[in-house]
Amino acid sequence: MRRLSSWHVALGSLIVIAAVPVEAQQTASQWVWFPESAPNDCIRESRWLRKSFDLPADVKSAALWLLVDDRHALWVNGVALSEPVERRGSSCCYDLTRLLRAGRNVIAVEAFNAGGPAGVIARLLITLANDEELVINSDESWRAANTEQEGWNQPGFEDAE
């Protein structure tokens, strides 16, 4: 596991049975979280997770399926999409079409765990203007922090080594 200042590669080992769309169940998405000393008994605190990615063209459509244990708030390119949402056992779906653009983008999630196991699992389906389809899954490339940092939900935030 690489430590990047106070951002870390986020990888979890949780198993869940939940109401997730079939297409989201058949992905390489992984549960991600800040690396805790006891991942199945996390403390009652927020963690901040983000995924930066580049898009080669304008977006025709984009949908994000997101499941968080326990609550979350979501930003895309610095724009808040939700107040904290508590949806245990069911996924939220967000239309990101108008928020994604050619170039650098970021999905940012503040996740709050109420105790016990914690995690975030996500799948972003993107159709570009040229009808090319892209999938971005939650995996070990997502970054996580145990403290909120200024600008963490912006595309230009530096979270690399």
d(CA 3, CA 125) in angstroms, rounded, equals: 29
The answer to whether residue 88 is domain-embedded is yes
The answer to whether residue 115 is domain-embedded is yes
Least trusted range by pLDDT, from 84-88, 98-102, 131-135: 84-88
The answer to whether residue 161 is domain-embedded is no
The answer to whether residue 152 is domain-embedded is no
d(CA 40, CA 59) in angstroms, rounded, equals: 38
Residue 12 structural domain: 3-145
Least trusted range by pLDDT, from 14-23, 84-93, 118-127: 14-23
* 41 pLDDT higher than 50: yes
- What integer pLDDT is reported at residue 5 of this predicted model? 31
The answer to whether residue 78 is domain-embedded is yes
The answer to whether residue 158 is domain-embedded is no
For the stretch 100-113, pLDDT in tens is: 999 999 999 999 88
Task: Name residues whose C-beta falls within 8 Å of residue 145's C-beta, 6 or more positions apart in sequence.
Answer: 6, 7, 8, 34, 47, 48, 49, 152
Contact 43, 113 (CB under 8 A): yes
Mean per-residue pLDDT, 35-59:
84
- Collapse the DSSP code of 115 into the 3-class scheme (helix H, G, I; strand E, B; otherwise coil) and give the result: coil
d(CA 130, CA 142) in angstroms, rounded, equals: 27
Instruction: Please report which residue ranges of the chain form alpha helices under DSSP H.
Output: 22-25
CATH number at residue 23: 2.60.120.260
The answer to whether residue 160 is domain-embedded is no
* 10 pLDDT higher than 50: no
pLDDT, the chain, mean: 80
Task: Name residues whose C-beta falls within 8 Å of residue 91's C-beta, 6 or more positions apart in sequence.
Answer: 18, 19, 20, 21, 24, 65, 66, 67
- What integer pLDDT is reported at residue 86 of this predicted model? 63
d(CA 77, CA 105) in angstroms, rounded, equals: 6
60-90 CB burial, b ≥16 within 10 A, e <16: eebbbbbbbbbbbbbbbbeeebeeeeebeee
Band of the pLDDT at 46, cuts 50, 70, 90? confident
Number of domains in the chain: 1
The model's pTM is: 0.78
